[in-house]
Structure 1
Amino acid sequence: MNIVDVRSNVGKWILFGLVLCCTFFVNNKAIFVDIMESRNMITAREMVYDGNWLTPTMNGELRLEKPPLPTWISAIVEYVSPDNLALQRAMAGLAALLLVFYLFQLGKLLTHDRVFSWITVFVLCTSYNIILMGRTASWDIYCHAFMLMAIYYLFKALRADVCDWKSFLLAGLAMGLSFLGKGPVSFYALLFPFLCAYLICYRKSMAGKWKGCAGMILLMLVLSCWWYAYIYMYHPEMAEYVWNKESSSWANRNVRPWYYYWKFFLETGAWSLLTLFTLFVPVWEKRLGDKTKSYLFSLLWMLFVVFSLSLIPEKKTRYLLPVSIPAALAVGHLFYYWIRQMRKTDRVGKILYRINGLLLAIVVLVLPVMLYLFMYREQRMSGMALILLSAGLWCIAFCLFYAVKSVRPAYLLGGVVGLFAFAEIFLMPYIGSFVSNAEQKSIALTRNIEELQSLPFYHPASEEIRIELVYAAYRKIRPLDLTDSAAVAVAMPFVLVQSVEPAAMIPEWLQQNACMEEVDVYDDNPWPKGHRRYSPAFIKKVTIIRKK
Structure 2
Amino acid sequence: MNKIFREKLVLILIVIIALFGNIWVSYPDIMEIRNFVTAREMVTDGNWLITTMNGAYRFEKPPLPTWITAGFMKLIGINAPDWTMRIPSALMGCLFLYLLYLFIKLLTNKDQISMLAVFIGATTIMFTNLVNENTWDTYTYVFAFATVFFSLKGIKTNKLFYFILTSFTIGASILSKGPVGLYLIYFPFLISYFLIYGKEELKKYWKILLGTFLLGILIAGLWPLSIYLKNKDIFMSNIFQKVINKEVATWNNRKQESIFYYLDYPVYTGIWMLPLVFSFFPKWSKPRTVDKNFLNLTLIWNFITFLGLSAVGMKKKRYMLPLFMTSPMILSSVLIYYFETTKEQLKKSDKFLLNFQKFLSLILYIFVLFIAYIFIYPNEKTGLWYPIFCTILFIPFLIYTFKGNPKKVIIGSGIIMLLGNLTGNWYIDRYLRLEVKKKIFLKYDYPRLSNLRRTLSKEEFYSFNPSMREVWNIGKQINDLSTEKYMDTDNLPNTMNIVTSDSPEKLLKKLPQYKIINTKTYYKEDNDNNTINIYIIQRI
Q: Same fold (TM over 0.5)?
A: yes
1:78 paired residue among 73, 77, 80: 73
What does 1:398-413 correspond to in 2, within 5 Å?
A: 398-403=399-404, 407-413=405-411
State the 1:355 CA deviation. 2.0
Residues 504-542 of structure 1: CA deviation (Å, up to 9, x unaligned): 3322863x64353112243427256xxxxxxxxx53111
1:428 paired residue among 426, 429, 432: 426
> Aligned with 2:373: secondary structure?
helix
> Aligned with 1:507: secondary structure?
helix
- Identical positions, percent: 24
What does 1:1-40 correspond to in 2, within 5 Å?
A: 4-5=1-2, 8-26=3-21, 28-40=23-35
Provide closer, same or farther for how the CA distance between residues 492 and 20 of structure 1 changes in structure 2, counting only shifts above 3 A. farther
State the 1:136 CA deviation. 2.1
Residues 321-353 of structure 1: CA deviation (Å, up to 9, x unaligned): 010111011111222011125661533223222
What does 1:381-460 correspond to in 2, within 5 Å?
A: 381-403=382-404, 407-417=405-415, 419-421=417-419, 424=422, 428=426, 431-436=429-434, 437-438=437-438, 439=442, 441-447=447-453, 453-460=457-464
Residues 428-462 of structure 1: CA deviation (Å, up to 9, x unaligned): 25641123244474212335789xx44321112xx
2:38 match? 43
1:505 match? 507
Structure 2, gaps ≥5 residues long? none
Please say if residues 189 and 308 of structure 1, whose CA atoms lie closer than 8 Å, have aligned partners that are also in contact.
Answer: yes
Please say if residues 124 and 328 of structure 1, whose CA atoms lie closer than 8 Å, have aligned partners that are also in contact.
Answer: yes
> Aligned with 1:306: secondary structure?
helix
State the 1:189 CA deviation. 1.7
Structure 1 range deviating more: 408-417 or 69-78: 408-417
> Aligned with 1:124: secondary structure?
helix
| Distance in 2, Cα, partners of 1:395 & 1:272 | 23
> Aligned with 1:257: secondary structure?
coil
Residues 35-82 of structure 1: CA deviation (Å, up to 9, x unaligned): 111110100000111111111111111111111111111111222222
| Distance in 2, Cα, partners of 1:74 & 1:498 | 29
2:173 match? 178
| Distance in 2, Cα, partners of 1:149 & 1:362 | 37
Please say if residues 113 and 336 of structure 2, whose CA atoms lie closer than 8 Å, have aligned partners that are also in contact.
Answer: yes
| Distance in 2, Cα, partners of 1:503 & 1:186 | 50
| Distance in 1, Cα, partners of 2:132 & 2:65 | 15
What does 1:288-437 correspond to in 2, within 5 Å?
A: 288=289, 290-341=290-341, 344-377=345-378, 381-403=382-404, 407-417=405-415, 419-421=417-419, 424=422, 428=426, 431-436=429-434, 437=437
What does 1:204-215 correspond to in 2, within 5 Å?
A: 204-205=199-200, 206-215=202-211
Provide closer, same or farther for how the CA distance between residues 516 and 488 of structure 1 changes in structure 2, counting only shifts above 3 A. farther
1:534 match? none
> Aligned with 2:313: secondary structure?
coil
What does 1:442-521 correspond to in 2, within 5 Å?
A: 442-447=448-453, 453-460=457-464, 464-481=465-482, 486-487=488-489, 490-500=492-502, 504-507=506-509, 510=512, 513-521=514-522
Structure 1 range deviating more: 221-230 or 438-447: 438-447
2:532 match? 540
2:55 match? 60
Provide closer, same or farther for how the CA distance between residues 222 and 259 of structure 1 changes in structure 2, counting only shifts above 3 A. same
* Alignment of 1:143 onto 2:143: no
| Distance in 2, Cα, partners of 1:116 & 1:73 | 32
* Alignment of 1:224 onto 2:220: yes
Structure 1 range deviating more: 37-46 or 227-236: 227-236
Q: TM-score, normalised by structure 1?
A: 0.88
State the 1:359 CA deviation. 2.0
Letter in 2 for 1:356: Q
* Alignment of 1:88 onto 2:85: yes
Please say if residues 22 and 421 of structure 1, whose CA atoms lie closer than 8 Å, have aligned partners that are also in contact.
Answer: no
2:278 match? 277
Letter in 2 for 1:363: L
| Distance in 2, Cα, partners of 1:425 & 1:375 | 11
Letter in 1 for 2:408: A
State the 1:487 CA deviation. 2.7
